[in-house]
Amino acid sequence: MKFGRLPLAQALGGILAHSLRSGGKMLRKGALIDAAATRLIAAAGHGEITVAQLEPGDVPEGEAAIRLGALLLGPHLRRSAAINGRVNIFSQVGGLLRLAPGVIERLNRANESVTLATLPDRAMVAEGDMVATLKIIPFAVSAAAMDTAQRILRAPAFRLEPFQALTVGLVLTELPHVKEATLQGTIAATQSRIAARGGTMLPALRTPHQEAPLTAAIRQLLADGAGLILIAGASAVTDRQDVAPRAVVASGGTITRFGMPVDPGNLICFGEIAGLPAIILPGCARSPAANGIDWVLDRIFVGETITSADIAAMGVGGLLKETDSRPMPRARARITGIGAAPRTRPQIAALVMAAGLSRRMAPANKLLLPMPDGRLMIAQTVDHALASGANPVIVVTGHQDAEIKAALAGRQVQFTHAADYAAGMSASLRAGIAALPATASAVLVCLGDMPLVAPETLNRIITAFDPAEGREIIIPVHAGKRGNPVLWARRFFPDLQQLTGDSGARQIMHGHTKQIAEFPAPATILYDFDTPAGQVRS
């Protein structure tokens, strides 16, 4: 690839290196310099510009990102569309991300034009989480660099190990000094940890802090189908001959290791009964803050057998306890979720409204018009939704249903048809809400004619959603004006399905002002394409 400044007459066919504005229109970085672009640049008074020119064998950034991104996929993973030479990889289930560091390092050392960034090894992820991003740095990759990268990625760079649906039994022992609130807190923290990994917990059993009744409780949980036994003792284990370890042995099990090099979590005790893991929890397991039990549960829930050597290796990075040099107050952790036991992120679906008649653009359907990069308008809007953290992306069709579907062929989207689309926006919205999965905590309603809203903006809207903090309707704002898309919590789905006409959902906002959260966003949230002249403020 050649890069440098050229007289405008020699730049035809090149790629614009820096964005330029002319007469109110923006030519963005990466645009192809064609005859129309040349006229705009000349009108802006530029006699020469900086361009990139592809050489024989060069692979354009978008194509390179797609081809290499496809090599990163494995079971339970999906990729986004390529946007500006970037593809993101998302998890489709909850689980643990396992890396092959050598493969990733070789790829990043091979050529500076190709970069891959991932979450840490053994990162716990929920459905829809982004686990990696592949970015092509220049506008194109040489044939040699592309061949090298493809050869390296013949070996998997990472994989996702899904959590298994384990049934967990919990037994708590009691002593007179142990408060009821402490016991209830232990049950709640354990339930949260199990649910975050997709498991279910049997009703907790409580016994005196004595070997015989504890042994009976363990046997009862096994008989009830527990695949994992957790024991929360009223007193911390101080020796392999303490009450809880003896109860594990009396139940027909063995103690495999006492203690681990993770703090908090040192006083954990591992055992097994008939091939099933039995764990005597450390006292810190009563807290939702991150501790050694989280590392252990991660591995058990993906089906790993934890050996004594595995536990010994956890000392590297095992200092989780707050220190003066790295403060993390537990009260703040409970409020913000920082340092808390991992939990499943809410699933945010996206609806892309593509059913309208496009009356003001008639006879053309604006959604099928080409954008500067050659994609159709609806394709660019959908690609941005796919590149965000929204999952699934559902496209609502109506007018020219077949043409819209054809424009989106090959994309990982779902379709739903609004039979009465001519009745207005509300008809499309009702059809879209009805198609949402039962697991969706909220929905991001995207207009099909707003292709300039970037994935980064969509992700900021998604991240702002927090029902616990009262942020249940998320609205982007620019210069004091509200724009689109808007995110709605599930509690508003019935209200959205009651809308009629073409007024949209704004009328619902008036009765729920306390649940609305606004945040500053780029001007693109105010622009749609309603007339042949182009952008108009919404």
334 has pLDDT over 60: no
Number of domains the chain is built from = 4
Q: Respond yes or no on whether the N-terminal peptide bond of residue 437 is cis (omega within 30° of 0).
A: no
Higher pLDDT, 28 or 380: 380
Nearest to 485 by CA among 510, 457, 509, 514: 457
Report the pLDDT value the prediction gives residue 330, as an integer from 0 to 100: 34
Q: Sorting pLDDT into bands at 50, 70 and 90, what band is 147?
A: very high
Tokens of 92: 């489709």
Residues 424 and 505 in one domain: yes
**Same domain flag for 285 and 198:** yes
Taking residues 101-129, what's their average pLDDT? 95
Evaluate whether 80 touches 102 at the Cβ level (below 8 Å).
no
CATH number at residue 102: 3.90.1170.30
Q: In the listed set 14, 35, 53, which residue is the last one of a domain according to the structure? A: 53
Tell me the pLDDT tens digit for each residue of 451-466.
999 998 999 899 888 8
Mean pLDDT of 362-390: 88
Record the tokens describing residue 388, joined without a space: 């965000």
Q: Lowest mean pLDDT: which of 26-30, 219-223, 433-437?
A: 26-30
> Of 104, 105, 62, whose CA–CA distance to 83 is shortest?
62
30-34, 77-81, 156-160, range with greatest mean pLDDT: 156-160
- pLDDT score, position 181: 86
Q: How confident is the model at residue 54 (pLDDT cuts 50, 70, 90)?
A: confident
Of 104-113, 140-149, 218-227, 318-327, the one with minimum mean pLDDT is 318-327
Tell me what percent of the residues of the chain surpass a pLDDT of 90.
59
Domain CATH for 370: 3.90.550.10
Q: Is residue 109 located within the same domain as residue 195?
A: no
Answer yes or no: do 148 and 182 share one domain. no
Q: pLDDT tens-digit profile of 481-516?
A: 899 999 999 999 999 988 887 665 777 887 788 788
Judgement on whether residues 158 and 177 belong to the same structural domain of the protein: no
The pTM of this model reads 0.63
267 shares a domain with 188 = yes
Does 403 lie in the same domain as 420?
Answer: yes
SS3 for 219?
helix
| Structural domain boundaries enclosing 227 | 167-322
Can you give the CATH number for the domain in which 39 is found? 3.90.105.10
Residue 330 included in any domain: no
pLDDT band at 359 (very low <50, low <70, confident <90, very high): low
Higher pLDDT, 196 or 55: 196
> What span, in angstroms and rounded, lies between the C-alpha atoms of 345 and 493?
19
Please indicate, yes or no, if residue 342 is contained in any of the structural domains.
no
